[in-house]
């Protein structure tokens, strides 16, 4: 399952950038496309290798600049633990996200859990700390990879 229509996601990204007054250039669009097509997180150099096949001039700054742009525009997330990148899942207006990293199958799930973000906001506020960006990443085993009786799948919903 190649996921929900990459072309549509690219078009949505285009609209978002227009709205933000930024440009989703061809280069950036190609990089976003590569990120969207992958099931697993990709590193900058994996992306670079792929990019090189269509754009011979590509070098590390090429990909890092494109990724910086995509991250600023909330189209891509950087997973610090992996030094790797995944598409942003969501239509959401980006409060905060949390990531569940399965070290068995390598997939990363994006959450936007208000219980977590509220707890973080409260913990920060209690210390007079003004957060500007949160990084929340859990290593572990996803529902599919975990031994069944260790972690029963979530109640059906």
Partner DNA sequence: ATGCGTATGATATAATATAGAAAGCGTCAT
Partner DNA sequence: ATGACGCTTTCTATATTATATCATACGCAT
Binding site for DNA (CB under 7 A): 22-23, 25-28, 43-46, 55, 57-62, 64-66, 69, 83
The reply on whether position 152 binds a second copy by CB under 8 A is: yes
Nearer to a second copy, 60 or 131 (CB): 131
Closest CA to 116 of 102, 98, 138, 93: 98
The dihedral built from the CA positions of residue 138, 104, 67 and 61, taken in this order, carries a sign that is positive
What track of x and - describes contact with a second copy for positions 103 through 142 (by CB under 8 A)?
x-----x-x-x-xx-xxx-xxxxxxxxxxxxxxxxxxxxx
Closest CA to 16 of 114, 79, 92: 92
- The least CB distance from residue 147 to a second copy, in Å, is 9
94, 73 contact by CB (below 8 A): no
What track of x and - describes contact with a second copy for positions 65 through 104 (by CB under 8 A)?
---------------xx----------------x-x-xx-
Nearer to DNA, 29 or 112 (CB): 29
Q: Which does 141 bind (CB under 5 to 8 A by kind): a second copy, DNA, none?
A: a second copy
> Which residues, including other chains, have CB under 8 Å from residue 75's CB and lie 6 or more apart?
13, 16, 32, 87, 88
Q: If residue 77 lies in a helix (H) or strand (E), which one and from where to where?
A: strand 76-79
């Amino acid at each position: 399952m190649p996921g929900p229509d990459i072309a549509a996601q690219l078009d949505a990204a285009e609209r978002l950038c227009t709205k933000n007054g930024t440009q989703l250039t061809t280069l950036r669009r190609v990089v976003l496309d590569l990120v969207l097509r992958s099931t697993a997180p990709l590193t900058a150099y994996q992306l670079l290798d792929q990019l090189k096949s269509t754009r011979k001039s590509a070098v590390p700054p090429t990909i890092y600049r494109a990724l910086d742009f995509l991250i600023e525009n909330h189209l891509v997330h950087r997973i610090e633990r992996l030094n790797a990148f995944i598409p942003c899942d969501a239509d959401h207006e980006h409060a905060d996200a949390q990531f569940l990293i399965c070290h068995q199958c390598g997939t990363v799930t994006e959450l936007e859990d208000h219980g977590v973000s509220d707890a973080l906001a409260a913990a920060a506020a209690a210390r007079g700390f003004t957060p500007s960006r949160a990084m929340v990443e859990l290593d572990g085993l996803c529902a599919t990879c975990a031994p069944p009786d260790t972690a029963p799948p979530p109640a059906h919903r």
